[in-house]
């Protein structure tokens, strides 16, 4: 298990991908049913099983979530939902950086988070 986790522009639910591609490609219900059946055959679970908020609810390691409010590819509500279920996470919302989050500000948040956790780990080791 890692000591900490950083996630940017997080997807929330696998079902969202299926819905997106159905809409974008104009797939009918029959095609979607066959796609979901094949997916289930390959990975042994339905898309609804793959839920980031469900997976993160039992995480105890520190986490940093960064998401842009104007992300056009992944909804910001995903990051908010993950943050609400992950008790030891910090959520940073940016504005105007898009899905790729390219900015010095984001890099600095990541560096600060890593450095902060490192300081906490060093402090724990010294007190033991």
Distance of CA 2 to the CA centre of its chain: 16
Domain 5-127: assigned CATH number: 3.40.50.1820
Per residue in 1-38, pLDDT (tens digit) is 789 999 999 999 999 999 989 999 999 999 999 999 99
Per residue in 68-115, pLDDT (tens digit) is 999 998 999 999 999 999 999 999 999 999 999 999 999 999 999 999
């Amino acid at each position: 298990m890692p000591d900490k986790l950083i996630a940017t522009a997080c997807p929330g639910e696998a079902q969202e991908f299926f819905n997106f591609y159905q809409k974008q490609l104009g797939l009918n219900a029959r095609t979607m049913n066959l796609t979901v059946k094949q997916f289930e055959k390959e990975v042994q679970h339905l898309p609804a099983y793959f839920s980031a908020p469900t997976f993160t609810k039992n995480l105890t390691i520190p986490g940093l979530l960064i998401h842009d409010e104007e992300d056009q590819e992944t909804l910001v509500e995903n990051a908010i939902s993950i943050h609400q279920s992950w008790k030891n996470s910090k959520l940073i919302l940016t504005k105007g950086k898009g899905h790729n989050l390219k900015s010095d500000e984001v890099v600095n948040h990541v560096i600060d988070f890593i450095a902060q956790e490192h300081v906490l780990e060093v402090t724990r080791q010294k007190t033991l």
